[in-house]
Chain A
Amino acid sequence: KQEVTQIPAALSVPEGENLVLNCSFTDSAIYNLQWFRQDPGKGLTSLLLIQSSQREQTSGRLNASLDKSSGRSTLYIAASQPGDSATYLCAVISNDYKLSFGAGTTVTVRA
């Protein structure tokens, strides 16, 4: 069974600082990996999807890397803003298209 771990569980940084969020997974036989944002009491917003054959994916201030062999992915958020405050979820998509989620990293960006 795929286990997904996200470290740290919570992070508080001053505005402008870069954010580094970590995700690890136990089974390297994955189809894709996806990063989501979740605001309190809300659903999920997809941020980046990395296919298993890719090493990284970028969108604006966001960059996600994937090292399948070591079972790791990292989400980088450059020049953080208060609006980036949310919980970030990592999800591993297996070959049967099922998603296994981590518990998330809750980010607070202080103005």
Chain B
Amino acid sequence: GAVVSQHPSRVICKSGTSVKIECRSLDFQATTMFWYRQFPKQSLMLMATSNEGSKATYEQGVEKDKFLINHASLTLSTLTVTSAHPEDSSFYICSASLPGYTDTQYFGPGTRLTVL
């Protein structure tokens, strides 16, 4: 149980385009989802916390207009990287928590974004 999927697993795009990454909880409803990014050889950094039906809470230093997060349903959150540039190339991982169990996060398999 508690399976989280991400789509796509890998995406390559041209500089200036926008890319959408989906995060789904497959067998549970997730009121809270988290988005992280990971640069090579570095730790995962929390970008934002999204709660179903409300605006995402962004961590300090993360541009909310650059990284648009939508959590429109209890099983789906999306991260859109707008006007992507090569420095946005990274590994993006989402996680989700069961309602009432926000101390435990279940992680997706990640999405590798490469911006040319």
A97–B102 touching, CB < 8 Å: yes
Q: Which B residues touch A99, using CB under 8 A? A: 34, 44, 46, 105
Q: Check if A60 is an interface residue, CB within 8 A of chain B.
A: no
Partner of B46, one of A31, A44, A89, A98: A98
Chain B, 31-54, contact with A by CB distance < 8 Å: what is the 0/1 string? Answer: 000100000011111100100000
For chain A, what secondary structure do more than half of its interface residues adopt (helix, strand, loop), or is it mixed?
A: strand
Q: Which of A11-19, A66-74, A75-83, A101-109 contacts B (4 or more CB under 8 A)?
A: A101-109
How far is A39 from B107 in the complex, measured between Cα atoms in Å? 13
The residue in chain A whose Cβ has the minimal distance to the Cβ of B108 is A43
Contact A43 B102 (CB under 8 A): no
The answer to whether B110 and A93 touch across the interface, beta carbons within 8 angstroms, is no
Interchain CA distance A99-B47 in the complex, whole Å: 11
B43 touches A97 (CB 8 A): no
From B46, B49, B112, contact of A41 by CB (8 A): B112
- Count the A residues whose beta carbon is within 8 Å of the partner chain — how many? 22
CA distance A42 to B41 in the complex (A): 13
Taking a contact as CB atoms closer than 8 A, the residue among A31, A42, A104 that contacts B43 in the complex is A104
Contacts of A89 on B, CB cut-off 8 Å?
43-44
Chain A nearest CB, measured from B11 CB (Å):
13
Chain B contacts of A91 at CB under 8 A? 44
B105 vs chain A, min Cβ distance (A): 7
> A residues bordering B, Cβ < 8 Å?
4, 9, 31-32, 36, 41-44, 46, 49, 89, 91, 93, 97-104
Chain B positions near chain A (C-beta within 8 angstroms): 6, 34, 41-46, 49, 91, 93, 97, 102-105, 107-110, 112
